[in-house]
Amino acid sequence: MRFVIREAELPADKGILLSTLIRNRDSSNNALRKERFEWSYSTNPYGKARAWIACDTKTNKCVGIASAFPRKILINGNPITCMNTGDTAVDKEYRSLGLAINILQERQRGAIDNNIGFLYSYPVDNMEVVLSHLGWKTVDKFRRYGIVLNVNSFIEKYVKARRFGSIISYPPNLLLTLWWGNFLGKREFRVRLQSKKKFDNEFDDLFESISINYPVIGIRDSQFLNWRFLENPLHKNLLIFRLEKADRFFGYALVDVYKDSARMVDYMVLSEELIVSLLVGVIKWLREKGIGTFAFRSLSNDPINDKFKSFGYIFKDSKDSSISVYLPQNSPYNIILESTNWYMTQADRDV
């Protein structure tokens, strides 16, 4: 047998895992990748990450890895430990030898043997096909939608002279400021930017009130939100928007800003009818700050999709990721195989 696969010992095998990731990824973000590694493998409030290492017995060299990160999911109100899989990396010269299937199979066997309720993942490209061979089921697509807030960045790509660029940009930007969405939403609600970078008991209470509406939902209490977003090195410019009425807290939107683009990475509102009020408030604030685009990812059944499409100026990413799940035989959690049972946002993804 040419390959041996073993479970990693952490933190002893940290160097092996990280070096394998780095040589199989874009090298431009290595410093950030190291920060993210420490965060995702060592500080997870639900337990340490687990990983599997494939070694070539001829060279005794690590040639592939696969990892899994613990999460807590409520299924009909009951907390279940599952794992969000990620960090699959196989050296290029070994990718045609079926090594990916072997190491992924070892990962799912090792996780399930340790009383993990199920595994879920967001495969892209050919990985969905690989997972299907191992008994994974595709639940839905995780699609990306967006809206144009101003055209400055688009014009600058083609017009180098700033003066002429601003002249050309003025008419379409003026039309965008007259966007009819400004008149939507409930007037008694307001959206404001939270100055305090911390999630507290208000967010616990909000999640408790909302979670009962969904058969399957990842826990979003203050402990999780603080870890997932504020301690995460990948969210250095996170904005916390609050939906309020008479100082009462009705929902939030978490938005990442990078240069002139923004993406919503999580949102929750007490009722579906408040989605428009939240979106309108966030979009107004971003447009006033000169942000060019606003985007988010969602399941096909998420009610935010229809609300968002009604605003116009929609663009959609051509590279959607799938959502796949793996259940052990005779699992009592078949409910997760139906996407309409899920509440899912970017917050549930491995990063």
pLDDT-derived band at 3 (thresholds 50, 70, 90) equals confident
Tokens of 338: 């139906």
98 and 161 inside one domain: no
Torsion of CA 219, 223, 229, 231, to 10 degrees: -150
CATH code: domain of residue 71: 3.40.630.30
Does residue 179 fall inside a structural domain?
yes
Q: What is the pLDDT of residue 216?
A: 97
Does residue 130 fall inside a structural domain?
no
Does residue 20 fall inside a structural domain?
yes
Which of 56-60, 65-69, 109-113, 179-183 is modeled with the greatest confidence? 65-69
112 and 148 inside one domain: no
**Which residue from 37, 31, 291, 271 is spatially nearest to 153, judged by alpha carbons?**
291
Between strands 216-218 and 119-121, the pairing is: unpaired
Does residue 137 fall inside a structural domain?
no
What number is the average pLDDT over the span 177-190? Answer: 64
163 and 64 inside one domain: no
* Final residue in a domain of this structure, among 81, 101, 117: 117
Q: What is the pLDDT of residue 319?
A: 67
For residue 195, is pLDDT > 90?
Answer: yes
103 and 165 inside one domain: no
106 and 161 inside one domain: no
pLDDT tens across 260-319, in order?
Answer: 889 999 999 999 889 999 998 999 899 888 888 899 999 988 988 888 777 765 666 666
Does residue 286 fall inside a structural domain?
yes
Contact between 112 and 246 under an 8 Å Cβ cutoff? The reply is: no
170 and 248 inside one domain: yes
88 and 148 inside one domain: no
Would the pTM of this model clear 0.85, i.e. be above it? yes
Please report, rounded to a whole number, the percentage of residues in the chain having pLDDT higher than 70: 86
30 and 90 inside one domain: yes
Alpha helix positions (H), the chain: 14-23, 30-42, 99-112, 127-133, 152-156, 162-177, 201-211, 222-225, 275-288, 304-309
The span from the CA of 264 to the CA of 279, in Å, is: 10
182 and 315 inside one domain: yes
188 and 251 inside one domain: yes
110 and 170 inside one domain: no
198 and 314 inside one domain: yes
The span from the CA of 29 to the CA of 36, in Å, is: 10
Q: What is the pLDDT of residue 168?
A: 53
Mean pLDDT over each residue of the chain, to the nearest integer: 86
* Final residue in a domain of this structure, among 99, 117, 135: 117
For 90, the domain range is 3-117
The number of folded domains in the chain is 2
